[in-house]
Structure 1
Amino acid sequence: MKPKKFILSGGGTGGHIYPAIAIANELKSRFPDAEFLFVGAQDKMEMQKVPQAGYAIEGLWIAGLQRKLTLQNLMFPFKLVDSLLKSRKIIKKFKPDVVIGTGGFASGPLLQMANMLGIPTVIQEQNSFPGITNKILSKKADVICVAYENLERFFPKEKMLLTGNPVRQDLIAIDNKREEAVQYFQLDPNKKTLLILGGSLGARRVNQLIEKELEAIVSQNVQVIWQCGKLYFEDYKKYNSKLVQVVAFIERMDLVYAAADVIISRAGASSVSELCIVGKPVIFIPSPNVAEDHQTKNAKAIVDKKGALMLKEYELDELFAVVFESLLKDEGKRAQLSENIKELAMPNATKMIVDKIETLIK
């Protein structure tokens, strides 16, 4: 029997890349002789992260539309046609059994072309409010794996499968890693640890908030691991000290989660899914600058079930200090949030998605 072949596309942010890699890893464990190819957007972070994970990748000349009239927007039709033609060439040459898209600019033209060529396609929709590309692709897709309930108004109900989002498997058992985490990050075991996550690129408003509040935070017997993002590291590395670790990127997410007592995070879909599994008290600060304000909707899905707290960016100056200090002092509140968010975890997402993919290639 000839080896199975899979093309995966996910990029732009870690939230699209890591689910694609998790799915590829699970497929590889089931089909050890399978062949894999990733397709990403040229010059985006997937062109580095995917090869680091051990997979080949090809880049498309594609980018998203800006919200205002720019030269990049005028170039979009040309980039789209070029990406569709290159996707056709890639698919014809590689001959995949299935094409899987987890979001990002390259997923659109790749899955569109796979649909046109009659190749089975799987969409993995991470957000509680899908983007326009996946809404269009869903009409021809074979399976749509979703992470939230009540998406029937966006996708054909008969194609949907509620799976949750794929997450790194090393996050599932972090409870016994606390001691290792304290040593790894050289933390004081007698102090509370605040973890700030702004996403792989960083979050400008979150960084501004932490800069403003840092002295007050540290004064409450708290040590800080501040992931400010690669776009902002040069601006904030000056705050590195014995009690504050400023980093652009965190390699050992399992250990940093194990070390954290309280987490401040954006509300990208993958982050939310990871935080449900990790089960630590979270204050979400959703980005308002994303399509359809989907981060707010992601966070609200957790907050409505009393699994986390949420502050909008416009509330930060007025409310952050009070909310953070109150959470830090209230051990019962932290324990309740931890318990509630953990109940929303879907740790078997990757296996469920790959189970479904298997049905398409039998």
Structure 2
Amino acid sequence: MTKRILFTGGGSAGHVSVNVALIPRFKEEGWTISYIGSHNGIEKDMIKKQFPNVPYHGISSGKLRRYFSMKNFTDPLRVLTGVMQAFRVIKKENPDVIFSKGGFVSVPVMFAAKMAKVPVAIHESDVTPGLANKLAVPFATKIYTTFKETLQHMPADRSTCAGAIIRKDLFLGKRVKGEELTGLQPSKPILLIMGGSLGANAVNKIVRDSLDELLENFSVIHLCGKGNLSPDAPEGYVQYEFVTDELPHILAMTDLVVSRAGSNSIFEFLALKKPMLLIPLPRESSRGDQILNAKSFVQQGFALTLDEKDLTQESFVTTIRQLRDQHWTMVEKMEKAPPSYTIDQMVDEISGLAK
């Protein structure tokens, strides 16, 4: 008899990427797969593009705000509507297990799963659980965390530190292919800068202000986010709005990384043994989760960190030089890091929860 799994999670790429990594393996195992997300969130585009044959069900969801907004009074109604919509989807798809990566849209699904008596596994990426996963924990059959520190916030009898779930294609990159794509040669160390989308301006600006000094010692690959390309591209500096299939090859040629401190990204760099300078989103722009993520990696010797409020041309260039000098020490510590669950291990774990 064919087993069925329903995935949920959305609102940001980080709440979808683990699902994207797991879905192909479940397909290989012959599972019937479906997905619940929001009507217009990033998860809809990602799932429909990569898995056009996976049924996608959009539901209503509110936003869990930590600040005053009139929408705080109407969003509970949206969540309630989402619960009923999710319940109908669950009854229709009849999953044996549900896997949730979090995000606002997952909250109605968790309530509905409890009503339908379907076992649920959730995965929390950050050191401290997000509000959506805090609400989901009472309804979860099993909770997996990325950081071991997160276990202190979770019920001990249902929680396991699985680490990050890294998609297999990241390990298949070829340095030579990266050099062909970028036109850069290994005469200097390669510095990859992930400006990203959220809060990219501060990182992008400091990179471009510092280019003259950076290019003395590095070749620079800059992922600057949509609409953020600069008309000036001196020799040794290659910029992209974003990359997809090219990323494994670019990472293969990379020596050092500058990035925000989103959990999925930094664990990918750890898995690939790439020392990193982390510039976490400030508390004014987030709940502070990236600050804690960065602190954990610094304490373990995998990274250096620089607060955005302290970001100047001098501090940026100086810290990158320090990162270069500590490169091999960091790599040695990364090699001793506890391994994360493989995709196969995670699939086995989730399969074991199926009703």
Correspondence 1:64-103 to 2 at 5 A? 64-103=63-102
Unmatched tracts of structure 1, length 5 or more: none
Question: CA–CA distance in 1 between the matches of 2:203 and 2:164?
Answer: 24
Correspondence 1:64-143 to 2 at 5 A? 64-143=63-142
Unmatched tracts of structure 2, length 5 or more: none
Gap change, CA 1:160 and 1:291, over 3 Å in 2: farther
Paired residues in the alignment total: 350
Identity %: 29
Candidates 40, 43, 47, aligned match of 2:40: 43
TM-score, length-normalised on structure 1?
Answer: 0.90
Paired residue for 1:337? 330
Residue 45 of structure 1: how far off its partner (Å): 1.3
Correspondence 1:308-319 to 2 at 5 A? 308-317=303-312, 319=315
Alignment of 1:348 onto 2:347: no
Candidates 293, 296, 300, aligned match of 2:291: 296
Candidates 200, 203, 209, aligned match of 1:203: 200
Paired residue for 1:9? 8
**Is the 1:239–1:246 contact (alpha carbons within 8 Å) kept by the matching residues of 2?**
no
Question: CA–CA distance in 1 between the matches of 2:35 and 2:336?
Answer: 33
**Is the 1:126–1:270 contact (alpha carbons within 8 Å) kept by the matching residues of 2?**
yes
- Residue 278 of structure 1 aligns to which amino acid in structure 2? L
Gap change, CA 1:327 and 1:153, over 3 Å in 2: closer
Large movers: runs of 4+ above 6 Å: none
Gap change, CA 1:172 and 1:131, over 3 Å in 2: same
Query: What root-mean-square deviation, in Å, do the aligned CA atoms of Structure 1 and Structure 2 show?
Result: 2.1
Candidates 261, 267, 271, aligned match of 1:273: 267
Q: Secondary structure of the residue that 1:172 maps to in structure 2?
A: helix
Paired residue for 1:324? 320
Spell out, residue by residue over 1:290-312, the C-alpha distance to the aligned partner (whole angstroms, 9 max, x if none): 65411111121111011111111
**Is the 2:277–2:306 contact (alpha carbons within 8 Å) kept by the matching residues of 1?**
yes
Question: CA–CA distance in 2 between the matches of 1:72 and 1:248?
Answer: 33
Residue 170 of structure 1: how far off its partner (Å): 2.1
Question: CA–CA distance in 1 between the matches of 2:232 and 2:66?
Answer: 34
Paired residue for 1:226? 222
Question: CA–CA distance in 2 between the matches of 1:153 and 1:325?
Answer: 36
**Relative to structure 2, which stretch is displaced further, 39-48 or 195-204?**
195-204
- Residue 178 of structure 1 aligns to which amino acid in structure 2? R
Question: CA–CA distance in 2 between the matches of 1:323 and 1:151?
Answer: 28
Question: CA–CA distance in 2 between the matches of 1:151 and 1:197?
Answer: 26
TM-score, length-normalised on structure 2?
Answer: 0.91
Candidates 271, 279, 300, aligned match of 1:305: 300
Candidates 280, 286, 299, aligned match of 2:280: 286
